[in-house]
Amino acid sequence: MPHGRIGHLVNQRVLNHPVIMVVDNDAGSTKVFQHLSNLLGVVVDGTAPFYYAYANLYVVPVPKSAVKTTTIEDLFDPSLLDRKIVGREFDRTGKAKDGTKWYGKFEFATKIIRPERSKIDFVRFEPLLDAFVKVIDDYSLRRVTLAAAAKAAAA
């Protein structure tokens, strides 16, 4: 079943750890949610803490906030997103090409978040981190069943 750009991350044999794909909860995730809906036979709308796809692959949407769509950047305090680097503003879309006016997510991570990580309040990330814990717990239970099925198939 693994294929495409993530096929090398998942495997049909039982692995020790889950692969967690984090997706924004916005229009950019529509195709991911549609594919998961088709795969799982249920409506996937990004409201669940996680979705088990297959093998060891899980999809974790960024938890929705009071606004209609939520990206991972929304979990940071807005004052961080408003910070300028040498007069340039943060481009959340990743589409701005003029590097004299805009900076991207890599610079945001390395020039704003990394140097100030000890001072930043990451409380808005707690629901996302809680979802990771739930995925790990789910996979630890699911892994036992997968291992038993693999052993039976090999016999």
In a domain, 1, yes or no: yes
In a domain, 91, yes or no: no
| Parent domain of 26 | 1-66+134-155
| Chain segment 88-122, per-residue pLDDT in tens | 999 988 887 888 999 999 999 999 999 999 999 99
| Chain segment 20-40, per-residue pLDDT in tens | 999 999 998 999 999 999 999
Does an H or E element contain 60, and which? strand 57-61
In a domain, 92, yes or no: no
In a domain, 37, yes or no: yes
Averaged pLDDT of the chain: 89
- Predicted TM-score of the model (pTM): 0.84
In a domain, 59, yes or no: yes
The rounded distance, in Å, linking the Cα atoms of 148 and 142 is 10
The rounded distance, in Å, linking the Cα atoms of 60 and 25 is 10
Number of domains into which the chain is organized: 1
In a domain, 35, yes or no: yes
In a domain, 101, yes or no: no
The rounded distance, in Å, linking the Cα atoms of 25 and 94 is 16
In a domain, 62, yes or no: yes
pLDDT value of position 69: 84
